[in-house]
Amino acid sequence: MEQKRQADELYNDFDLINCTPLGTFIDHSNVTRTFKLLIKKAGLPDIRFHDQRHTHATLLLKRNVHPKIVSERLGHADTRMTLDTYSHLLPSMQKETAKAFGKMLFGTT
């Protein structure tokens, strides 16, 4: 809000969550460059900005969040895209589900 007030009539209100001081779209190369500088400064392994998206989806699926929710968060048209992309997680999820189901039915692990 402060940036908007300072820019006055120069501000372009596109209702963005993240924007330049004038309210315009942030160029993706600037985001990538800043991200690379921050992870280097923090001493973290070099990863792509996009890898955060995969990590987010993986963590949600591993926590048994419904694929429809994950798909919506990623902006996929349907769950098929999500499940095709993250199918490598399914074998371990199947095992965890079978254990949870056995515990629910029989009180065992």
Say yes or no to pLDDT of 1 above 80. no
Q: What percent of the chain has pLDDT over 70?
A: 97
Co-location of 79 and 42 in the same domain: no
Co-location of 74 and 91 in the same domain: yes
Residues 58-82 pLDDT 10s: 999 988 899 999 999 999 999 999 9
Residues 84-107 pLDDT 10s: 998 887 777 778 888 888 899 998
Co-location of 37 and 64 in the same domain: no
Question: How far apart, in whole angstroms, are the C-alpha atoms of residue 72 and residue 33?
Answer: 28
Domain count, the chain: 2
Q: Is 23 helix (H, G, I), strand (E, B) or coil?
A: coil
Instruction: Note whether 89 and 65 are within 8 A (CB).
Output: no
Co-location of 54 and 42 in the same domain: no
Residue 77: predicted pLDDT: 93
Co-location of 42 and 71 in the same domain: no
What's the chain's average pLDDT?
88
Co-location of 104 and 60 in the same domain: yes
| Full residue range of the structural domain in which residue 56 is found | 50-109
Co-location of 58 and 25 in the same domain: no
Co-location of 39 and 64 in the same domain: no
Residues 19-50 pLDDT 10s: 888 889 999 999 999 999 999 999 999 999 99
- Which pTM value belongs to this model? 0.62
Residue 12: predicted pLDDT: 85
Co-location of 42 and 63 in the same domain: no
Co-location of 42 and 57 in the same domain: no
Residue 108: predicted pLDDT: 67
Residues 6+ apart with CB under 8 A from 49: 31, 32, 35
Question: How far apart, in whole angstroms, are the C-alpha atoms of residue 109 and residue 104?
Answer: 9
Co-location of 105 and 54 in the same domain: yes
Residue 3, token pair as written in the block: 């940036």
